[in-house]
Amino acid sequence: MAAPKERIFTPYQVLIIGLLSILQFIIILDFMVLSPLGAILMPALNITPAQFGLVVSAYAFSAGASGLLAAGFADKFDRKKFLLFFFVGFLIGTFFCAIAPTYKLLLAARIITGIFGGVISSVTFAIITDLFKLEVRGRVMGFTQIAFGASQVLGLPIGLILANRFEWHAPFWMIVIFGTLLGLVIVVYMKPVTQHLAANVKQNAFKHLSNNLSNKLYLRAFFSTILLATGGFMLMPFGSAFSTNNLGLTMGQLPTLYFVTGIFGITLGPLIGKLADTVGKFKLFAMGTVVSIIMVAIYTRLGITPLWICIVINVILFAGINARMISSSTLISAIPAMPDRGAFMSINSSFQQVSGGVASFVAGLVVIQAPSGILERYDILGYVVIGSMIIAMAMIYWLDSYVNRKTATASI
């Protein structure tokens, strides 16, 4: 009789993966929902592409600032309490988005949301690093990455339907209601995450922040994150406007595009995570980079294109992006020592948000909307993204070499 297969995760770990995945889904959805709403928001509020880019980047800039401010305190508290504090603030900011009547008030609401929302992902990754070994961490990152696909399958189509049926505030109401229910579940079922407190060296918050910012190894990881964020944030904010104005898709076709792409994202996420643990983090990252470069070069130069071709290109592009995100996130999570994990993740998230905000703002200045509605110079953004991908691959190779040397002498 065959021996029973050993469980990779305990039932509680499965619960945590589920809760953190849903949490990531809400955070990603809150940011991503602005992209398809761009085609609705710009005429509804009578704003330019540059102003819309500022709405997107306002979240990122405020998130980056709060990430740096929170970094010094990130390893001094129970991670569960730290997470809930910022999640409540995030929901309050999203509530203000749901009731904002004007462009200026929406901009202010996005700043509030970013102040709190920007820290949540860093706390999530710190919890994952604390609770899961590196050998299986790729699988965990793969499952949490399902949030990206789920936001496309469930969140974006539902958000678009609500926005088209009612008005653009409706998707934010959806996020507030769903997020409140999740917060209650976390309060009841998640255990305190405090093992890092025993290893934490007593030092003030500013000293802790300074030590992380001056660590040369950490700086290499932060620079890699900046390069990774530049690519994604440049193309994403104008995705819906490019699809409707340049590719010739209708607003009614956008939910189908996001739905099918998201289905593949959900399906491929766990598989990519498993490959990161078995094939190797850098090998998977390199393959994802090559695929992404090819697809970006094709996508940003398209004209009027049938829906089915747009779907195929998006599926392949996001498969490459997911491979890059999952493998790089797993590698970067192995860089900090336990006493620094919260601060490191918070600073890393801060750099990601700020660089993404800069990229979104610059993209808004580069892209020009012609009187016909067509977005011009989108291909230029594609060239910048490809350049950042190539440089990022060299940085990730160095980090992978370091992690391999580290695991050869000690268990992470």
**What is the structure's pLDDT at 54?**
77
Q: What is the DSSP string of 310-331?
A: HHHHHHHHHHHHHHHHHHHHHH
pLDDT digits (tens, 9 = 90+) for 310-348: 999 989 988 898 888 888 888 888 888 877 778 888 888
CA distance 4 to 374: 59
**What is the structure's pLDDT at 1?**
43
Q: Over 80: is that where the pLDDT of 189 sits?
A: yes
**What is the structure's pLDDT at 187?**
94
This model's pTM is above 0.85: no
Which is higher by pLDDT, 295 or 133?
A: 295
User: What's the chain's average pLDDT?
Assistant: 82
Q: Over 60: is that where the pLDDT of 397 sits?
A: yes
pLDDT digits (tens, 9 = 90+) for 133-167: 878 888 888 888 777 667 666 666 677 777 777 77
Do the beta carbons of residue 263 and residue 149 sit within 8 Å?
yes
Do the beta carbons of residue 8 and residue 139 sit within 8 Å?
yes
pLDDT digits (tens, 9 = 90+) for 243-284: 888 888 887 788 788 778 878 877 888 888 888 888 888 899
CA distance 198 to 338: 10
Q: What is the DSSP string of 220-231?
A: HHHHHHHHHHHH
**What is the structure's pLDDT at 45?**
77
**What is the structure's pLDDT at 201?**
57
CA distances from 244 to 24, 248, 308, 375 (A): 28, 5, 14, 10
User: What sign does the CA torsion over 407, 124, 233, 288 have?
Assistant: positive
For residue 83, give the nearest of 133, 139, 126 by alpha carbon: 126
Residue 45, token pair as written in the block: 């509020």
In the chain, % of residues over pLDDT 70: 90
What would the mean pLDDT of 384-389 be, rounded to a whole number? 88
pLDDT digits (tens, 9 = 90+) for 66-84: 877 777 777 777 889 989 9
Burial of 169 (0-12, 13-18, 19+ CB in 10 A): middle
**What is the structure's pLDDT at 152?**
60
Residue 336, token pair as written in the block: 């900090």
Set out the domains of the chain in order of their start, with CATH numbers: 11-191+205-406 (1.20.1250.20)
Query: Which amino acid is present at 257?
Result: L
